[in-house]
Each structure stands twice: as structure tokens, then as C-alpha cells.
Structure 1
């Protein structure tokens, strides 16, 4: 083991448990952590107050965890990714560090930053090691029989399960407490100005301890009911772990190992609820492979190139009504209000609200994608982009263009008593539950709730016509 410090560059991996870069660095010498704050880049990527506040609190929790191991966390406010190579190089030079470990990230700008850092530090004589920690398989490892990246989820999932082995599931132990260094950790830089106040921190406590507690509670109380309950927003049936996975306060391996323990060593068989949840973790990885293999999606382009010609409507009033939860479709409005007030949205509602914007209103899905990113505490480019392109029928494994959810039918099916609607749309809380899905005109007027901004049947036909026009 070397006596010179080894740097670990933290990014969306804010934990000390099962952290491959940290574990590898600790085997080589005393560790010094680094976190680079990039507020200009984060704003350019559309991250809003909820995610930035959660990130900030997560970095503070990481610094405390590292301090318990006598590992200082150096922090630099560098503005954007372009400044990362110089910042890391300067830190390495000032400490005499000869090695840097980090975890790869896969969207276009992040991958470019990885390459720039690796090249710049190598030129300074620093040995750089990147680890594929956020996925079980690095992009390019799983390919079709023709040697191409998978474009459809189901065969990707089959290959993922077929090639998964114990090594890919193995947890990396946290480092042992190291001897104190004559280097002090640093406080967080001043908080950048944010357009909106973030949601209460108690709604989303940050850090790996909070993440591990939520994982434990989910598996103990909800996991086995996940398949049956996950589509019902009035029921606490999902894990709500997406923010913690997005910022790496919890690893996918920790989740999978917990399932193996709970499900008699199985991921695909055994309990149907647990197997269904594992499937969602595989979806998360699939979208990372898509971003790496098809970087056009990182440039605001549709995965299915022919859909770039689709005639989207420019309707500011309708877009504002959607953003503010005033569409006159109660389930859509409840979903949008949940997003704005809590920084999170139930997955079934993400599909319903995204399809409403892109199909019923025929407004460019990219506007909705950006609005979600601005508000989501779990704002994650790959998952958000993949979900939006699925709903808009422009992406990989997308919903067929003729699949257009009827919001009222979805509401009756997944919120049968209108409980979720009553909670999020208080105007309708005293309305007969059977009428909450589509209140009569007189009830709407009496309760101050708007009429539908678009007729479902007419909007559906308009969307079908727009997609049909692409064929010609």
C-alpha cells in the first residue's frame, strides 16, 4: 500500500457501502474524497430545486460518513464539467496523489467528462481507473446476436438475467478506518440560487442510512405486494427508492442482494412482487445502455428518428394548464399536483400524465420531459428520457402510437374510490367518489373545477392522424 493519497471522485454515488471505486482506492493507500459542484452544468441539464437540494444534503451526509473513516472530502465549486480535468489535476498535484478512482456515468456530457478527466490526469502522470459501478453490465457488454446494442427491453432483460453471475452481484465492503491525514474536509460551497423552494427535507431525508432504512421497510412491508399494488397511487405500494438510486445513496447490488435474501436466493422466480420490482431495476439499467449506445437521445432527439417530423402543437395555454394541474381530467391534475408539491410522481401517473401531454394535447414530449426534470427529486436523465419517449411513442420499446390512455378509464381502474384524486384535488374531495373521475358539468361549476380542456375522442383521433401523417 502506498503512503501517498489516492483520490476518489464522487459523483452520483454518494455512499461508502458497496462503492467499488472507494473500495479499490482503500486497498492502494490513504483515501481522499473529492466532490465537484457543477451548478452551471446542472442548471443546463434542467435540474431543479428538489434534486439540487437532495444532492446537497446527500453530499453533506457522505462527508459525515467519510469523516467517520478519517477520509476527508474536498469540495470545489467549478461551474461546469469542462473545469473538472483542471480541478482534479490541481488537487492531485497539491496532494502528491498518483491515483484517481471514479465511477463512469453514461449520458453524453458525463461520458465526455469521463474521457477528458482520464486524458488530462494521465498527462500529469496520474493513474486513472474508472469503474462501471452503477450498472451490472457496462454498455457494450450485452449485445444482440448481430453484435448490436439491444433496442427492446424484453430481450435485453433476458440477456441480463442469463449472464448475471455472483461476481456482478458481490458487494464491496466499506473501507476500514484509516489513520488521520493532515488534510481537513471542507464545508459545502454556498447554495446556488434556485428558482423555486425545495420540498421539505423531511419528505426525502438524504444519505445512505435513510436509503437503507427505506429499502428494509419496503421489503418487509410492501415488497411481496408490489406487483399487485404498484399501479394504485392511493396505496403505499412502491419503494420510493428512485431518488436514492439516482444519486447512488443506494446501489443496485444492495437492492438485488436484499431481494435474494428475502426471496430464497432468486431474482426471477419465487415471490411475484419481488420479481416484478427486480424487473424495474433492470429497466433502469436498460435506459443507461440506451443513452450510451444512442447518444442522439442525449441531444434532445427522438430515438425513432422518423418521429422528428411529427407535427407537434404550439399551445401555451394548454401546456400551462397541464403544468398547473388544471386540465379538467382529475387523475391528470392530481398527478401534476403531486409532482409539484412533493417532488415525486407515482409511476403509473407518470405514464398517464406524459401520454396526456404528448397524445391528447399533442405537445412536444421534450417540454414535458424538461418540466419533470425541473421538479423531480429523483430527476435522472436516462430514466426520465426513456419514460417520456415511451409515452410519446418516439422511443425504444415505445408504446405503439395508437396506444392512447383514456385518463378517465385509467382513473376508474387505478383509483377506483377516487381517494388519490380527493387528496390532491381538494375541489373534488366532497364530490361523490363515483363522480370524481369525470364530474358532471354542474358539479364542476359548483366546485370551481374546470371543464376538460380537450375531448378524449377528438384528441385521440387528432393524435392518430398526426402519427399516420408520418407514413406519408
Structure 2
């Protein structure tokens, strides 16, 4: 009986749970849906859409080697998906639709609607665990609830990994040819501008490249990850987040690469490997939170009482933050890196998020949206979790009274100013002390063409602390 694999954020043939299940059951056809209206509604970045299409083109080649035809259909949004899929299944006499689960309220409602539409047809829908190590609902507290604290979540994950390590699936064997012609992958989608050649060059497409980047990181940089990961001028991170977000590589493949480099240990051994595995588990944690506490994917704070915080309406300050014109070099360099590359170093994501939500006291949702509109690795769970952590509105978030000082953070994590000079050429001639705070310079460089700070740091800190203290008093 014919099978359909509905591809979403799983653009690979190796260790693809739904693909392996479909091809082991019967002749398989792959399907990918282009939904520009939905992508716009979800604030998906143009560079991310371009990255999806480029990876889909590479995947199409790999699927053709397996004799799996790729059908591509375009509908405006997910409302049209159930009827479309039901029609495709009827046309091709499909017995089972295979999907790898996605998480988030809209995604789950979409899949439930598809399942409902298929109940009126001979086709059944089979869901698979793929983009997580553990299915949501299987890592729970003693009372059966979802965890709110990462360290407790991690402890249970460690125990589960010790008992049973999730395996990586091989590429399926080639199937017999089908009398179905594959569709060509479009190079662009209306409404999404094509990114620069420079940005595209930073993120080559295809799972072969993703595996190469992972292997190189595991061999050359994993051991020093704990020491180098906080320094944005250093190539100390894996640079595979975009490939994980699009499913070009799986979390199991990442975990196994780290374990191979750490002699099979996940909670001991090399500190760099342990720290990086913890980052994989943070990614896991936020997706479980998305399922256990669905209001966080609907524009609500995890801590519901924080929705009453007196966020400021300050469009000029928001625009200065978005464009890298705040007068604080580490903030501006980070925001310019985002605009140029579609990516931002993780330490910088925390610094700029805390600056917006606390120093500027602008609603964290403005920052969450801006990040999604520009990140090539934009992921609802990770982005939302990171923003709510920084804004002290989320699960296991930083205490409200902890505010990163952008000047001291800059001096600590970019001591020589190498990152600042890369993204702020107007400050390139300043020495390694003056570059972190040009507003304090006198003499020769006092007239450097760089914005004055848009806020007074001590005043903004006290304003944020006061707002959170008043929130606590009102409860």
C-alpha cells in the first residue's frame, strides 16, 4: 500500500523517523507544502524561508536517489491543508500519512484537523517522535506534571539516557521506481526577499554539510566549548542551530557525536561535551514546556502575573535597538550581526534581550517577534524560552533583579574589542578600553561618529527593579 511522508521541519533522509517508517511499510511519496501566509503569520524570517528552500532542493536530490518522488503544493495557510492532503491521499491511493510530530498550539491544531479530515477517507495518519529525544509527557515530575525547572528536567533526562540511548536510523534502502514525477523546488516564494549572497554563504544547504559541520565541531571545538562559548569573537559554538531548526540534522545525531567525543559519557568527562549536551537538553526542555504550558506559544508569559508589567511604549528606542543604534557597542554590534548574518551569538542574545526587556522596559514580545523575523535558526520554543528567561517572565527564568550590564558584559566577553570592531567599523580605531564605552571618551576620539547612549544605565536599572517590585506587591 502506498505511503505519504509529509515533510515539515525534517529535511533529511538519514535518521528520519517518519521516512524510515513509511519506506519500510510500502511505496512512499514525499510531500512538502509551501504556505506563505502561515509563514508570514508566524514571523518566519526571509533568510529562514530561503534556507528551507535550499535544503529542500538538496533533499529532493537525496530522495530521487531513493526513488521517492517529491510533490510540492502551495496553499496560503494551514486552513487549506486538511482538504489538500485528503485529496492527495485519494489521488494516490495512500493507506498511511506519516508525519514527524511538531510542537506548538497551531501546529498541533493543524495536525488534528488533518487527522479529522482523513477519518472520512481510507487513509490513516501515523505520527512519529523525531525532533526530540523524549516525547512530551514522558519526562514528568513525581506528580505527573511537566517540569518548570531545567535542572530537575535534566536529571530525569540523564537517568533516561543512562537506561536507554535513542538510536540513529540509517538511510533507508532504495525503493522500486514509481510512476510519479517529482515537482521542481522553487527558488523563492512571494513575500520573502532573497537574502544576500554573503548570508547564504554562511549557511550552505544539505545534510552532508550539516554532518560535516557537526563532525568538525565535535573533533576540533567541543572540548573547549565550555571555555570559549561565551566569547562572540571566538569560533567556539557549533553553528548548527539552523540545521537543527530545519531538521537537516537530528538531535540524536548531535547527541551521538558528543558522546563519541566524550567516551560515551553525558554527565561527566570532558566539561565542554557535558556543557554542549546540556544545551541540547535546554532545547528539549523548552519544547516540552511548549506542550505542557501551551499559553506560552500564544503570546502569554509563562508567569501569567507578569502580563500586567507596565511595559513602555517607546517606538524610537525600539527602532534604535532593532537597527543597532543604541549607543552601547555590544548591543549594537550584536543587532548588526543579526541583520547581516541571520544569526546571533547566544551570549549576545541574552544581553540584548535583557537590555530591551529591562533597561528599556519594552515588552519582551517585541524582541521575540523581531528575532523570529530575522533569525535563520528561528524556533518558537527556543526563541520564546530564551526571551522569557531574559525578561524574568518564563519558566526557570533569571531572577528579576539580575540585569546584565552591557558595558561590563562587553569588557568581559570581548576584552580586546575584536567582535565590536568587526560589526562597528566606525569604532575600529579605538583602543580596547575606550571601544566598550565611547561616550566616556575625551580628546582625539571624542568626536567619533557613533550614537550617544539612548538611556542612563543606573536609572533604567532602577526603573526595571521598581516595576518588578510593584508587580510583586500587587499580588
- Check whether TM > 0.5: yes
Matches for 1:2-401 after TM superposition, within 5 Å = 4-164=1-161, 168-189=165-186, 191-194=188-191, 196-200=193-197, 201-401=200-400
Determine the structure 2 residue equivalent to 1:456: 457
TM-score relative to the length of structure 1: 0.97
Summarize the Cα distance change of 1:197–1:73 in structure 2 as closer, same or farther, 3 Å threshold: closer
Counterpart-to-counterpart distance in 2, 1:358 and 1:195: 28
User: 1:245 offset after TM fit, Å?
Assistant: 0.3
CA contact (8 A) 2:407 2:437 kept: yes
CA contact (8 A) 2:245 2:378 kept: yes
User: 1:166 offset after TM fit, Å?
Assistant: 6.8
User: 1:165 offset after TM fit, Å?
Assistant: 5.4
Summarize the Cα distance change of 1:231–1:190 in structure 2 as closer, same or farther, 3 Å threshold: closer
Counterpart-to-counterpart distance in 2, 1:275 and 1:385: 24
1:404 and 2:415 are equivalent in the alignment: no
CA contact (8 A) 2:167 2:252 kept: yes
CA contact (8 A) 2:350 2:386 kept: yes
Equivalent residue of 1:7, what SS?
Answer: strand
User: 1:88 offset after TM fit, Å?
Assistant: 1.4
User: 1:193 offset after TM fit, Å?
Assistant: 2.7
User: 1:167 offset after TM fit, Å?
Assistant: 5.3
Equivalent residue of 2:176, what SS?
Answer: coil
Equivalent residue of 1:447, what SS?
Answer: coil
CA contact (8 A) 1:48 1:194 kept: no
Counterpart-to-counterpart distance in 2, 1:266 and 1:294: 31
Equivalent residue of 1:202, what SS?
Answer: helix
Counterpart-to-counterpart distance in 1, 2:194 and 2:24: 42
User: 1:470 offset after TM fit, Å?
Assistant: 0.6
Counterpart-to-counterpart distance in 1, 2:124 and 2:164: 25
CA contact (8 A) 1:76 1:189 kept: no
Counterpart-to-counterpart distance in 2, 1:74 and 1:434: 57
User: 1:310 offset after TM fit, Å?
Assistant: 0.3
Counterpart-to-counterpart distance in 2, 1:333 and 1:350: 12
Counterpart-to-counterpart distance in 1, 2:239 and 2:230: 13
Q: Aligned Cα RMSD in Å?
A: 1.3
Determine the structure 1 residue equivalent to 2:468: 467
TM-score relative to the length of structure 2: 0.97
User: 1:197 offset after TM fit, Å?
Assistant: 4.0
Counterpart-to-counterpart distance in 1, 2:336 and 2:62: 35
Residues 39-69 of structure 1, C-alpha deviations (whole Å, 9 max, x = no match)? 1101000012111110111111111110111
CA contact (8 A) 1:324 1:336 kept: yes
CA contact (8 A) 2:36 2:190 kept: no
Counterpart-to-counterpart distance in 2, 1:348 and 1:25: 40
Equivalent residue of 1:17, what SS?
Answer: coil
User: 1:146 offset after TM fit, Å?
Assistant: 1.6
Counterpart-to-counterpart distance in 1, 2:456 and 2:366: 22
CA contact (8 A) 1:441 1:451 kept: no
Determine the structure 2 residue equivalent to 1:430: 429
CA contact (8 A) 2:104 2:294 kept: yes
Residues 66-99 of structure 1, C-alpha deviations (whole Å, 9 max, x = no match)? 0111111101101211222111111111111111
Counterpart-to-counterpart distance in 2, 1:356 and 1:321: 12
Equivalent residue of 1:288, what SS?
Answer: helix
Aligned pair count reads 469
CA contact (8 A) 1:356 1:405 kept: yes
User: 1:194 offset after TM fit, Å?
Assistant: 3.6
Counterpart-to-counterpart distance in 2, 1:295 and 1:314: 27
Summarize the Cα distance change of 1:274–1:92 in structure 2 as closer, same or farther, 3 Å threshold: same
User: 1:220 offset after TM fit, Å?
Assistant: 1.2
Residues 339-391 of structure 1, C-alpha deviations (whole Å, 9 max, x = no match)? 00110000000000000000110000100111111110001111000000001
Residues 141-193 of structure 1, C-alpha deviations (whole Å, 9 max, x = no match)? 11111211101111001111111257551111211111111001101247323
Greater CA deviation, 345-354 or 110-119?
110-119
Counterpart-to-counterpart distance in 2, 1:196 and 1:457: 40
Residues 382-438 of structure 1, C-alpha deviations (whole Å, 9 max, x = no match)? 100000000100001111000000001101110010110011111110111111111
CA contact (8 A) 2:343 2:377 kept: yes
Equivalent residue of 1:433, what SS?
Answer: coil
Which sections of structure 2, spanning at least 5 residues, go unmatched?
Answer: none
1:416 and 2:382 are equivalent in the alignment: no
Residues 314-333 of structure 1, C-alpha deviations (whole Å, 9 max, x = no match)? 11111111011111110011
Greater CA deviation, 160-169 or 418-427?
160-169
